[in-house]
């Protein structure tokens, strides 16, 4: 359906958030959602983020800003991922999401993080308790 970014990451690893996270939102016909999350650490610049910033310099949403957009740089090379049942991270926070969080992170440059932070200083949901849920690692 769409993808978007959070700063800092919505997910944490051993209690630590990454500077950013990208979410790829998928919807089934019945309304259930699956979201793939990729943590983005500070490092090399991401060419996909660069393209997006050039196409949508003031932020917001755009359905057609990019004629040819290659999202592959936003995904890690490895396919290992964590799965757990969860919710939307923005209101109404409905508990209808099958979460897939990639085990490998990607990188964005500090300059890209700073540029995103200038538009969206903080748009992550506080980490929720795991409670009865289990997180499954799939290799």
User: CA 36, CA 39: separation in Å to the nearest integer?
Assistant: 10
Dihedral over Cα of 7, 13, 14, 18: its sign: negative
**33 versus 103: smaller Cβ distance to Zn ion:** 33
Instruction: Determine if 23 is a binding residue for Zn ion (CB under 5 A).
Output: yes
Interacting stretch for Zn ion, rule CB under 5 A, among 19-27, 74-82, 100-108, 130-138? 19-27
**3 versus 68: smaller Cβ distance to Zn ion:** 3
Applying CB under 5 A, the site for Zn ion has a residue count of 2
Q: Which residue is nearest to Zn ion (CB)?
A: 23
Q: Is the peptide bond before 41 cis (omega within 30 degrees of 0)?
A: no
Dihedral over Cα of 112, 2, 71, 126: its sign: positive
Q: What is the DSSP string of 47-60?
A: HHHHHHHHHSTT-S
Per-residue interface string for the shown chain with Zn ion, residues 54-93, x marking contact by CB under 5 A: -----------------------------------x----
Shortest Å distance, C-beta 95 to Zn ion: 15
24: nearest Cα among 10, 6, 3, 49: 3
List residues binding Zn ion (CB under 5 A): 23, 89
């Amino acid at each position: 359906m769409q993808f978007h970014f959070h700063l800092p990451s919505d997910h944490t690893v051993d209690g630590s958030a990454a500077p950013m996270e990208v979410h790829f939102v998928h919807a089934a016909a019945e309304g259930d959602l699956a979201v793939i999350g990729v943590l983005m650490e500070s490092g090399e610049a991401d060419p996909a983020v660069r393209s997006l910033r050039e196409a949508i310099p003031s932020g917001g949403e755009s359905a057609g800003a990019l004629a040819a957009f290659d999202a592959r740089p936003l995904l890690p090379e490895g396919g290992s991922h964590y799965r757990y049942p969860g919710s939307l991270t923005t209101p109404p926070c409905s508990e209808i999401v099958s979460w897939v969080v990639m085990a490998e992170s990607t990188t964005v440059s500090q300059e890209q993080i700073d540029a995103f932070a200038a538009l969206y200083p903080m748009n992550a949901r506080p980490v929720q308790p795991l409670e009865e849920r289990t997180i499954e690692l799939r290799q």
